Amino acid sequence: MTLVKSSTFGHAFLFSVLLLPHFLFAQASSHSGSDGINYSICRGEKPYRELLAVVNRQLSWDAANGKLGNSLRSRLRFEKIDEKPAAQGSVGRYRVFVEGAPENKIYALSFWSIGKEVSFEPRFIYVNEQGLLMLHKPRPEQETSLGLGEEEELEVMPLTASAEPVRYMLSSQDQELSILGTLVPHPVFAVDNGCKVEVRMAGPGEAAMLIMIEGFPVKSRVPIVSVSDGETLNELVITDGSGKAAIVDYPHLKGKSSGIVKVFAEGPGCIPLVQLPWGASDPAKPENKP
């Protein structure tokens, strides 16, 4: 899939993309006590402002649902079709669904990866009764189809590293509808007795990581422990009404260019643990910062 920034629709859409995350963060922040996204683990200096802004945008993107201004609540859903050969092994191919999106609208799809600009699919997008994203208006016999092949349905093939997310936005041409979704082709997670902890890249060189937990008791206090090359820090988070919470981890250690961070969360009868390498980027001193 080739994505570009072009056309009048594209420029208008870019404007809405730039505004949306700030609105979403404000919305999420006002409920941060119940959503469990107002926690962070920081070693050494406070992360630089640009990194904080990017992390906040990601938290908002992942927490947001539905259409701004009305009651429609929906997320983009990704279904893996298969894998295709790539320069380094293989890359997954996915079809995309959205629940509840009106068929009488024309849509555009954009995507955003860490450290990159927002890009756009140059073709118009349509949906059928099943919410399948298509490259043309569905014919009557295609309304109930769950898959139509790469010539007729929209497919995405993101090339990513372990724990690297790609975030998508489906927006209507009339700018009345915006629906978000996050795809992690190579997730890093662990499940123990129904409790799950997942880590996601949130900054260049793993300068920041998102820690997501779910499956824990609702409205409960959950200890999260992060060990970066022997240095241990912990935070007590409060899960939301679904037993989920999120926390930001800045694993960089002063005087070290790389390392491994281990993360675990402790629940009743469960301690899921994951680990992920981090690179050379300093969350307090980016290379391009004077």
pLDDT for the residue numbered 185: 94
Count the neighbouring beta carbons within 10 Å of the beta carbon of residue 160. 17
Q: Which residue has the tokens 């209507």?
A: 172
C-alpha dist (Å) from residue 220 to 197, 245, 252, 264: 15, 10, 29, 16
Strand ranges in the chain using DSSP code E only, listed in sequence order: 40-42, 76-86, 89-98, 107-113, 119-120, 126-127, 133-134, 155-156, 166-172, 178-183, 188-192, 195-201, 209-214, 221-228, 231-238, 245-250, 259-265, 273-278
C-alpha–C-alpha distance, residues 73 and 179, integer Å? 9
Token pair, residue 123, equals 């073709």
Which two tokens mark 179?
């629906």
> Are 251 and 223 contacting, i.e. CB atoms less than 8 angstroms apart?
no
Residue 73: count of CB within 10 angstroms of its CB: 12
Report residue 50: phi and psi, to 5°: -65, -40
Q: Is the pTM for the entire model greater than 0.75?
A: yes
Phi, psi dihedrals of residue 63, rounded to the nearest 5°: -90, -20
**Ordered domains of the chain (ranges, CATH):** 34-63+187-290 (2.60.40), 65-183 (2.60.40)
Strands of the sheet with 76-86, listed across from one edge:
76-86, 89-98, 155-156
The pLDDT of residue 243 is 93
Digits of tens for pLDDT over the chain (290 positions)? 433 333 334 444 444 444 444 333 333 332 333 333 456 777 766 677 788 888 888 888 887 654 433 445 688 999 999 988 877 778 899 999 998 889 999 999 999 998 888 999 999 999 999 999 999 999 999 999 999 988 899 999 998 988 999 999 999 988 888 899 999 999 999 999 999 999 999 887 678 889 999 999 999 999 999 998 888 988 999 999 999 998 888 887 777 778 889 999 999 999 999 998 887 555 555 554 43
Measured CA to CA, the distance from residue 279 to residue 145 in angstroms comes to: 44
Contact 249, 209 (CB under 8 A): yes
Contact 286, 50 (CB under 8 A): yes
| Amino acid at site 236 | L
Report d(CA 158, CA 84) in Å as an integer: 11
Q: What is the DSSP letter of 205?
A: G
> What integer pLDDT is reported at residue 200 of this predicted model?
93
Which one-letter amino acid corresponds to residue 159?
L
